[in-house]
A = this chain, B = another copy of it.
Amino acid sequence: MNALDRLVILFSKLPGIGKKSARRMVYYLLDGDPQYAQLMAEQIGDLHRAITRCGICGSFTEENPCPICADTSRDAIICVVERAQDVPIIEESREFRGRFHVLGGLIAPLEGINPGDLRVGPLLNRVRQEGIREVILALNPTVEGDTTALYVQQVLKGYEVAVTRLASGLPVGGDLEYADRLTLSRSFRGRTAL
Q: Chain A at the B interface: mostly helix, strand, loop or mixed? A: helix
Assess whether B178 is in contact with A47, with CB atoms less than 8 Å apart. Answer: no
A40 at the interface (CB under 8 A from B): yes
Assess whether A28 is in contact with B15, with CB atoms less than 8 Å apart. Answer: yes
Q: A62 CA to B6 CA in the complex, in Å? A: 12
Specify which chain B residues have a CB less than 8 angstroms from the CB of A13 in the assembled complex: 36
Assess whether A62 is in contact with B7, with CB atoms less than 8 Å apart. Answer: no
From B15, B37, B42, contact of A25 by CB (8 A): B15
The answer to whether A47 and B29 touch (CB under 8 A), given A2-B62, A4-B60, A41-B42, is yes
The answer to whether A4 and B51 touch (CB under 8 A), given A23-B85, A27-B84, A43-B10, is yes
Between A and B, 29 residue pairs with Cβ closer than 8 Å are A2-B61, A2-B62, A3-B47, A3-B50, A3-B51, A4-B50, A7-B40, A7-B43, A14-B24, A14-B25, A16-B21, A16-B24, A16-B25, A17-B25, A20-B177, A23-B85, A24-B85, A26-B47, A27-B60, A27-B83, A27-B84, A30-B48, A30-B60, A34-B48, A37-B47, A37-B48, A40-B44, A41-B44, A42-B45
Interface contacts beyond A16-B25, A27-B83, A38-B48: sample of 14 additional A-B pairs, CB < 8 Å, sorted by A: A2-B50, A3-B43, A3-B47, A3-B62, A10-B43, A13-B36, A20-B178, A23-B85, A24-B85, A29-B47, A37-B48, A40-B44, A41-B42, A42-B45
Which residues of A line the B interface, CB within 8 A? Answer: 2-4, 6-7, 10-11, 13-17, 20-21, 23-31, 34, 36-48, 50-51, 60-62, 83-85, 88, 177-178
